[in-house]
Amino acid sequence: MPKKILVALLYLCALSAAAQDFSASWQGYFSYTSISDITYGNGKVYAAAQNSVFAYDATTDVLTTFSTIQGLSGETISAIYYSERANALFVGYSSGLIDVVQQNEDVFTVVDIVNKTAIPPNEKQINHFLERDGLLYISTDFGISLYDIDRLEFDDSYFIGASGGRLHVRQTAISGEYIYAATQEGGIRRALVQAENLIDFENWSTVSGGNWLGIVGRGDRIFAINANNTLQSFDGNTFTIVTQYPSRPSRLTAGQAGFTVSLVNTIYAYDNTGAAITTVAVSEQYPGAYNTAFSAEGLLFIGTAENGLLMTGLPAAQTLLQIL
């Protein structure tokens, strides 16, 4: 049996044994039944609920919670990301706040976006984090903000709409020499990631118009989903339709290898080339909606609306287990 599959199976068994032991003691304090985002780092999977986060470490079989008790802001979480470079978990909120949970579990709050008085409060939501060369590209409802991971301080903000105006950026991706932004009303825009003046909107060009729901970079191409529920690949010159979904995807997520597309009743997992690996439909054991998914270490983690965090092995995806 290949080592990677054996490790995944052992991981599944450990989770199955541990999942029921923790949930009862936590539900009285914070609800972890609805998971809105997932990330992975430092050997742990992190899952965001409405206003708190939990982490599971398979090597030690330990569950750890992060909430207002540990220093989180307690507002509505909209995105999370773990940075291996910073050894820190970034928690983004719909208000524009960002909490940084450091390796020693100390928490500090970044308020720069909240404090931007020129931006309406309802346009400050954190939608996505993307890391590259020590910088965190933060997709927001007004544009893209930068955070310097090494210095742990806020950097520039990019307003890439018409004439430098605000533009709702759902997600960013890097492929080749370009950074791409999937936007709600301004299409997919891109700029040279090493350009000295990315803050100048004229350095951003539109490669496709319309409403785009999400984007990921995989090698020399990007994969993106538009409002017609179509997954497309782009090689830098030409868009190619990969597939069309029966309903609106809620999330497109880059995993450790490949990516996932989340629909309310189905998770689609793909490899780095866009080839389908597996699909996971809502099961009778865990009915209800799916919110998001993330693939890592030969495993697929699924965030649900009612049943917490589920997990299964890839590529077979035969058994769903509930972590919490």
Give the model's pLDDT for residue 60.
81
Tens-place pLDDT, residues 297-321: 999 999 999 999 999 999 988 899 9
Q: How confident is the model at residue 61 (pLDDT cuts 50, 70, 90)?
A: confident
Q: What length does the chain have?
A: 324
Give the model's pLDDT for residue 62.
84
pTM (two decimals): 0.90
Backbone angles phi, psi at 12, to 5 degrees: -60, -45
Asked whether 91 and 69 are in contact (CB, 8 A), the reply is no
CA distance 16 to 312: 11
CA angle at 96 for the pair 90 and 100, rounded to the nearest 5°? 20
Instruction: Please state whether beta strands 53-57 and 169-175 pair in parallel, antiparallel, or not at all (unpaired).
Output: unpaired
> From its phi and psi, is residue 170 left (phi > 0), alpha (psi between -120 and 50) or beta?
alpha
Backbone angles phi, psi at 125, to 5 degrees: -60, 140
Q: How confident is the model at residue 56 (pLDDT cuts 50, 70, 90)?
A: confident
Q: Find the domain containing 167 and state its range.
A: 3-322
Whether the per-residue pLDDT at 8 is higher than 60: the answer is no
Instruction: Please state whether beta strands 135-140 and 77-83 pair in parallel, antiparallel, or not at all (unpaired).
Output: unpaired
Give the model's pLDDT for residue 13.
47
CA distance 103 to 304: 27
The CATH number of whichever domain residue 298 belongs to comes to 2.130.10.10
CA distance 117 to 164: 17
Q: 1-5, 69-73, 196-200: which has the minimum mean pLDDT?
A: 1-5
Q: What is the DSSP letter of 283?
A: P
- Which percentage of the chain shows pLDDT scores above 90? 83
- Which percentage of the chain shows pLDDT scores above 70? 90
Task: Report the candidate in 312, 313, 311, 309 with the shortest Cα–Cα distance to residue 324.
Answer: 309
Asked whether 181 and 207 are in contact (CB, 8 A), the reply is no
Q: What is the DSSP letter of 26?
A: H
Which residues are bridge partners to 290 per DSSP? 304
Instruction: Please state whether beta strands 88-93 and 178-183 pair in parallel, antiparallel, or not at all (unpaired).
Output: unpaired
Q: 2-16, 121-135, 292-306: which has the minimum mean pLDDT?
A: 2-16
Give the model's pLDDT for residue 30.
67
Give the model's pLDDT for residue 170.
98
> Rounded mean pLDDT of the chain?
90
Tens-place pLDDT, residues 206-263: 999 999 999 999 989 999 999 999 999 999 999 999 999 999 999 999 998 899 999 9
Q: Which amino acid is at 56?
A: Y
Tens-place pLDDT, residues 63-80: 899 999 999 999 999 999
Q: Is the peptide bond before 315 cis (omega within 30 degrees of 0)?
A: yes
Q: 5-9, 100-104, 138-142, 239-243: which has the minimum mean pLDDT?
A: 5-9
Whether the per-residue pLDDT at 172 is higher than 60: the answer is yes
Give the model's pLDDT for residue 10.
46
Q: What is the dihedral of CA 276, 278, 281, 283, to 10 degrees?
A: 180
Give the model's pLDDT for residue 196.
84
**Domains in the chain: how many in total?**
1
Give the model's pLDDT for residue 71.
92
